[in-house]
Amino acid sequence: MLDLKLIRDHPKEVERRLRTRGEPITLDRILKLDEERRQIVGHVEQLKAQRNKASEEIGRLKREQKERDAENLIVEMGKIAEEIKSLDGKLSQIEHELNDLLARLPNLPHASVPVSGNKSDKKILREFGRKPEFSFPPKSHVELGERLKILDFPRAARIAGSRFPLYRGLGAMLEMALVQFMLRYQVQQNNYIPIFPPFLGNAESFFAAGQLPKFADQVYFCPEDHLYLNPTAEILLTNLHRDEIVDDAELPLKYCAYTACFRREAGTYGEEEKGLIRMHQFNKVELFKFTRPEESYTELDSLVEDAEDILKELKIHYRAALLPSCDLGQQSTKTIDLEVWIPSQNRYYEVSSCSNCEDFQARRGNIRFRRAKTSKPEYLHTLNGSGLATSRLFVAILENHQQPDSSVLVPEALRDYLKTGRLQ
């Protein structure tokens, strides 16, 4: 959530930066409600001060046995009490609308983010490795999965519907190997604290992370329990320190978590997004950091590098891309995507989005730290990144490491988990 004082003091600048996201955002209603709220608060404070002064006067009058004067003043105070009650009701309505409008505003893009209304205007920062060259027409992961009997989409559809996965045999082993390898790597090599959180969260958690109220229609909801299915562990990890004041000596805090993720993915998608490319359910290892404000962009760079480590270990060609302003997530101020090469489609697909949210989520979740015992609490900065999502990573392994006989070489980093060097 944006700082209301920042909006109040610099409305035109905030509006200009928000509009670089490609949305026709106006702050007029927010500013009007804020002004009304402050006027009412000021008036109510005056009335309460007047009431307090009158209470003292009533006591004096009664002590002096001036009962009639005291009664007249009591009647006047009754009218003031009614006015205060009426103003409090109006104030409650104003604050409800104001908070709802503030909760729907996205974060401000960072100055380094390319300003564009076209999602393709991303800035390529670097590449690793080269695109594989084949002496044969490369098969898609769907074809390979069927031939190797490691993916079974028809049975998945029978069980749950379209866009759900079913891994079998060595496919199931490869999927779990990816989860174990990525989690262990981040804990042992990059010093993240492992977390195994609930797969569901309450409304307060989803609000703090920025998912509610704006994106309520994009998540699965269990109405009887008032719980939401996790679309990304970012939401769960954001709330590890909700309503807490973190010790400065502990910062930065680095967490990683495995969860299954569930997304509605409403809409229709083309042939190129069948199979594992776009799913209602997938697995992911998430990286998350709580940092001091002045360190968050350095920590973002290191978070991206930590996610890149996995792709380097798996020897998969990828590129890192800085997203333009129109393609930023609601809570993000800067996002760098890692995109793997998919040979059958001759294109890149994102497998990780690494973002700095600055204090946007911390304000919503009241997540703060104190630099010293006598210091005023400050909002932390939160950062998140996929480290990585397994579904498209699974696709990249099959397609980039496929052989002429439709077998697939298993990356060395995963061979101990599968006890084999080849899927065949």
Q: Which of the residues 163, 363, 368, 392 is marked catalytic?
A: 392
* Active site annotation includes 363: no
Residues 6+ apart with CB under 8 A from 371: 248, 378
Annotation says 347 is catalytic: no
Per the CB < 8 A criterion, the answer to whether 266 and 218 are in contact is: yes
Q: How many CA atoms lie within 13 A of 394 on its CB side?
A: 30
Amino acid identity for residue 9 in this structure: D
Q: Is 120 annotated in the active site? A: no
Given the residues 140, 325, 353, 355, select the one marked as catalytic: 353
Q: Is 350 a catalytic residue?
A: yes
What's the per-residue H, E or C state across 172-194? HHHHHHHHHHHHHHHHHCCCCEE
> β-strand 193-195 against 253-262: which pairing, if any?
parallel
Catalytic status, residue 278: yes
Sequence-ordered list of residues with C-beta below 8 angstroms from that of 165, at least 6 positions apart, any chain: 151, 153, 156, 276, 279, 281, 282, 391
Q: Strands of 245-247's sheet, edge to edge?
A: 245-247, 368-370, 378-379
* From 116, 350, 370, 378, active-site residue: 350
- Select which of 17, 21, 263, 364 is catalytic: 263
Cα–Cα dist 66/58, whole Å: 9
* Residue tagged active-site, from 17, 21, 163, 278: 278
Q: Which residues contact 410 (CB under 8 A, 6 or more apart)?
A: 174, 397, 401, 418, 420, 421, 422, 423
What does the block give as tokens for 135? 């002496």
Helix (H) or strand (E) holding 325: none
Distance (Å, whole) CA 254 – CA 233: 14
Structure tokens at 58: 């009533």
Annotated catalytic residues are 263, 278, 350, 353, 392
